[in-house]
Amino acid sequence: MTVLRLVAIALIFMLAAGAWFVLAGSVDYRTNSSDEALSMQVEGLWGGPQAQLAPTFSAEEGGHKTLTWQYENLVSGRPITLTMPKPMNPGPLATRISMFAPVSLLFFFAGLVLLTATQGIRLHPINYGFLAAGFFAFHLLFAYLVDRVNINVSFLIAAAASVALCVGYLWMVLGTGKALVEIALSQFVFLVLFSYSFFFEGLTGLAVTIGSVITLGYFMAKTAHVDWETVFSKPKGVPIAEPFSSGPA
């Protein structure tokens, strides 16, 4: 692993991040355009949004919940109402996942660099470019499936396609082995689980933080005895790029 390769990988990462921001912007534009049109139709039928009074007491008996509004002054300009359950809006969800996709790719690339460098595996920056494209395939599929198919089904299809692309490509490049299993597991963690954490609104930050700390501890333990001077030094007589076989060994 040389400095030039790291610079090339960083450039690929920045290009991929730009593509994700463009995708997030397009999804956000489509979502907001639909929301504005729908809001105008609803307001025309039912009037503008209003502020309501919340219940002062809640009790649950026999599987039923009783809500009580008890105020000293019954004269109020605000009506009493109930907030119905809201299904998850797929547009903003797809936008948030795409916006934070570069963080997911950064974790994956960092893990990939550590795994390949410590195990003596030489991946060319072009390989990293194809892997970034495989990551992008997940968000692209999810963004355009989510308004046509059930949100969970869309997520499963996009995740399966992306994992198949990346793992299948690495299988053809590296062949079978422990490294392939570790890389596939890292993609599952950094792409699938990372993205699925956005389904739990309010808990995404905590989930990502816990995952990051666990990942950091894993790589610290795995590379504690690695001689980094040897890893990042270019051996004499070794070419910068080595040819890969067309299929698994």
pLDDT, tens digit, 9 for 90 and up, residues 161-192: 999 998 998 888 888 777 788 888 888 988 88
Beta bridge partners of 60: 65
> Which tens digits make up the pLDDT trace of 36-92?
555 666 565 555 555 566 667 777 777 777 877 666 665 555 555 555 666 677 778
Q: Are 9 and 122 in contact, with CB atoms under 8 Å apart? A: no
Cα separation, 146 vs 90, whole angstroms: 6
Q: Are 101 and 20 in contact, with CB atoms under 8 Å apart? A: yes
Q: Are 89 and 194 in contact, with CB atoms under 8 Å apart? A: no
- Name the nearest CA neighbour of 162 among 183, 182, 132, 197: 132
- Mean pLDDT across the stretch 216-237? 73
In angstroms, what CA-CA distances link 18 with 12, 91, 235? 10, 20, 35
Mean residue pLDDT of the chain comes to: 75
Percent of the chain at pLDDT > 70 equals 67
- Where residue 196 falls (left for φ over 0; alpha for ψ -120 to 50; beta otherwise) is alpha
Give pLDDT, residue 238: 45
> Which tens digits make up the pLDDT trace of 27-37?
666 666 555 55
3-class secondary structure, 68: strand
Q: Are 244 and 169 in contact, with CB atoms under 8 Å apart? A: no
Q: Write out the DSSP string of 19-57.
A: HHHHHHHHHHHHHHHHHHHHHHHHHHHH-S----BPPSE
Model pTM score:
0.62
Cα separation, 33 vs 30, whole angstroms: 5
Longest C-alpha distance within the chain, in Å? 88
Q: How far is CA 204 from the centre of its chain?
A: 10
